[in-house]
Structures are given as C-alpha cells and as structure tokens.
Amino acid sequence: MSENLIRMIVMLLYIVAGPFIGGILDGFDRKISARMQGRKGPTVLQPFYDVLKLTQKQLLAVNKFQLLMVMSYLFFVILSGVLFFGGFDMLLCFFSLSTAAMFLILASTSTHSPFSTIGTHRELAQMMSYEPMVLLTAVGFYLATGTFQVSDIIQAKVPAIVYAPGFFIGFVFILTIKFRKSPFDLSTTHHAHQEVVKGVTTEMVGIEYAITTLTEWYENVFLLAVVGLFFINSNPISYLVAIIAVFIVYFFEILIDNTSARVKWQLMLKMAWGVTIVAGGLNLFILELINF
C-alpha cells in the first residue's frame, strides 16, 4: 500500500471514528468518576444518549451567529486533527487548533450574556495559559526527532519521550486545562457545579451544544494522540506502549479531576506558565546543550 493511501485511510478513520472514541472515553470518564465517588454512575454510552437527545431538542436562537460560529469551530478542530493524523506539520495542527478556539470564543461572546462573557474571558485566560506549552510541545518533538512532520516523527529511531520528558510533563499538565478538568475547569465544566452556570456554553441550545460536545470529543482524541506520539517510534510495539500511556494519562486526568477544587485564573496562569518554563524550558535548554 502506498504511503499516501495509508494517510488517507487514517484521516478518514479519524473523521469517522474520532467522535466514537471520544464519546466512549467520555463515558468511561463519567463511569470511573462515579465509582471514585462511590456511586454506580451512568452507562458508558451515556454521552451518546446526551448528544443524540440534544440534536432532537428545539433550537432557541439567542443569537443567529452562534450556530455558524459553532459549526466553524467544529470544522477547524476536525481540520487540525486531520492534519495531525495525515502526518503533516505539527505546528500547523496547533495553529489550526488555536483558530478553532477563536471560533468558540466568538460563538460564546456574540450573545452579550453575562455568564458566557465571564466564561469567555476565563476561556481566554485558559488559552493564554496553555498556548505556550502547546507550541513548545511541537518544538520538543522537533528537537527530539529533528522534524515537525508527524509522518516523520513516527519513523524516529528513539521515541520522543526519551529526549523530551519535560515537554511531556508540561503537555500533560496543560492537558488538564484543555480537557476542562478540575482544578482548571474555569470557563465551563462537565460537572453540574459551576459558579458561572455553564460558562462559554451557557447560551448554546440543543444542536449547538451537541456540536460543541462533539467538537470536544474530536479535540480530545487529537490531544491524546499527541500524548501517544511521545511514545511512538519505528518499532510497531511502541504503538501498544503509546496506547497504554494514553490510558494512563487519561486515568490520571480523571483522578486529578476528582481530587482537586477549582482554582482562580491567577493561580492557573502562574502554575501553567511555571510548569511550562520549568519543565518545558529546562528540557529545551538541556536538549540544546546536548545537540550543540
């Protein structure tokens, strides 16, 4: 099979299977969280029921622009995932991802609603917190494997984690923000308790909220794939290692989610930037010393 064909298949797989994997992971998240709290919890298929129900609800328009912004958000997240699974430049994937985040911001802010406005600005603060580390992660892969191309990174002799453990730690840290997990679920949360109602998603009704949830699944799959990429090299067994690592990281995020309380944005910014500088920056310095 030619390489391009494989790429096409992987991209298609992502588009088709992405939401299923994301949804199932979300379902396990709720189940595991419930068990951690001593509850039975819903079925693992619950997220699918939720999204399907949302698509059936009447759409109330708070603002006509919101739906189109949310749809654009979905498009750009899928685009970044497709670029990633298609083996393109990592920086490009992340740039596309931040464009997508822009559309979410615009969707929520166009309503002039007090709750979603506060949510929007918290979301902005979150973006400011994780953005440096996201870009640094791409840099980390480049330093470890000598390329930004995902298709070449997976051909590396040594997995990136060997050279870039600091970047890995930093990335897992900001993943908590990206996954909207406590203590960094400031802008919106998956839990019932949130002092700004539902933050950025407050004014999203029915299908709009369904699309947002779907988008988050796509995004989560993409981000977890980045985690996996740290462990992948030319050896096929590494894929197995990567999958195990992804599960461990995901479980770790759930654990953090259930054991910590929401923090203020100041602390989030301090922690995120601190970890970025200490873990990412230090790793960066060391790699440069080794390479030259």
Partner 1 sequence: MKNIHKSPWLLHYDGSSCNGCDIEVLACTTPVYDVERFGVVNTGNPMHADIFLITGGINSQNEEVVRQIYEQMPNPKVVVAVGTCACTGGIFKECYNIKGGVDTVIPVDIYVPGCAARPESIIDGVVKAVGLFREKHLKEKEGEKA
Partner 2 sequence: MDKLVMALICLPFLMAILPAVIKKSKIRSTVVYICGAIVAILSITTAVWWYSLGGNALVFDLPYTEVFDKIILIGDFALMFLIIYLSVKHHKTIISLLSIVQTLLVAGLELFGPHPAETMHIRIDWLTFIMILIIGIIGVAIGIYAVGYMHGYHIHHHKELKDRRSFFLAMIFVFYGAMFGLVLSVSLVWLYFFWEITSVTSFLLIGYTRTEEAVNNSFKALWMNLLGGLGIAIAIAYAILVQGTVNLYDVIDSAIAGGAGSAALVPIAFLAFAALTKSAQFPFSGWLLGAMVAPTPSSALLHSATMVKAGVYLLVRLALAMNGNYVGQMVYLCGGFTFLIASCLAIAQSDGKKVLAYSTISNLGLIVACAGAGYQETIWAAVFLIIFHAVSKSMLFQCVGAIENTTGSRDIEDMEGLAVRYPKLAFILMVGIAGMFLAPFGMLISKWAALKAFVDAPSALMVLFIVFGSSTTMFYWTKWFAKILGIHAEKGVDRTKPNEYVSMYFHAVLLILLCVGFPITSKYVIEPLMNDMYGTSTPVISEGNIAIMVIMICAVFIVPSINYLLTRNRKDKEVMVYMGGANIGDNKNFIDSMGESKELQVSSWYMTDWFGEDKLFKPAVVVGTFIILIFLCVVVGGAF
The DSSP annotation for 126-146 comes to: HHHHHHHHHHHHHHHHHHHHS
List binders of partner 1 among 200-219 (CB under 8 A). 201-206, 209
- C-alpha closest to that of 172 among 95, 282, 272: 272
Q: Is 237 in the site for partner 1 (CB under 8 A)?
A: no
* Tokens read off for 203: 């004014």
The residue count for binding partner 1 (CB under 8 A) is 32
From the list partner 2, partner 1, none, pick the one residue 281 interacts with, judged by a Cβ distance below 5 to 8 Å according to partner type: partner 2
Residue type, 286: I
Distances (CA, A) of 29 to 190, 223, 247, 255, 268: 11, 16, 11, 10, 23
Stretch that binds partner 1, among 12-20, 51-59, 133-141, 284-292 (CB under 8 A): 51-59
Among 17, 52, 61, 267, binds partner 2 (CB under 8 A): 61
Nearer to partner 2, 24 or 106 (CB): 106
267: which residues sit within 8 A by CB, 6+ positions away? none
Note whether 194 and 123 are within 8 A (CB).
no
Stretch that binds partner 2, among 42-50, 68-76, 182-190, 216-224 (CB under 8 A): 68-76
Among 132, 247, 255, 263, binds partner 2 (CB under 8 A): 132
Residues 138-167: x/- map of binding to partner 2 (CB under 8 A)?
-x--xx----x-------------------
List binders of partner 2 among 71-90 (CB under 8 A). 71-72, 75-76, 79, 83, 88-89
Nearer to partner 1, 133 or 204 (CB): 204
Residue 68 is inside which H or E element, if any?
helix 64-85
Query: Within 13 Å, how many C-alpha atoms sit on residue 165's CB side?
Result: 2
* Tokens read off for 54: 């949302």
Q: Is 29 in the site for partner 1 (CB under 8 A)?
A: no
The DSSP annotation for 203-239 comes to: T--THHHHHHHHHHHHHHHHHHHHHHHTT--SSTHHH
Report the first-to-last Cα separation within the chain, whole angstroms: 39
Residues that bind partner 1 (CB under 8 A): 30, 34, 37-43, 46, 49-50, 52-54, 56-60, 62, 192, 194, 197-198, 201-206, 209
Q: What residues line the site for partner 2 (CB under 8 A)?
A: 58-65, 67-69, 71-72, 75-76, 79, 83, 88-89, 91-92, 95-96, 98-99, 102-103, 105-106, 109-117, 120-121, 124-125, 127-129, 131-133, 135-136, 139, 142-143, 148, 197, 202-203, 266, 269, 273, 276-277, 281, 284-285, 288, 291-292
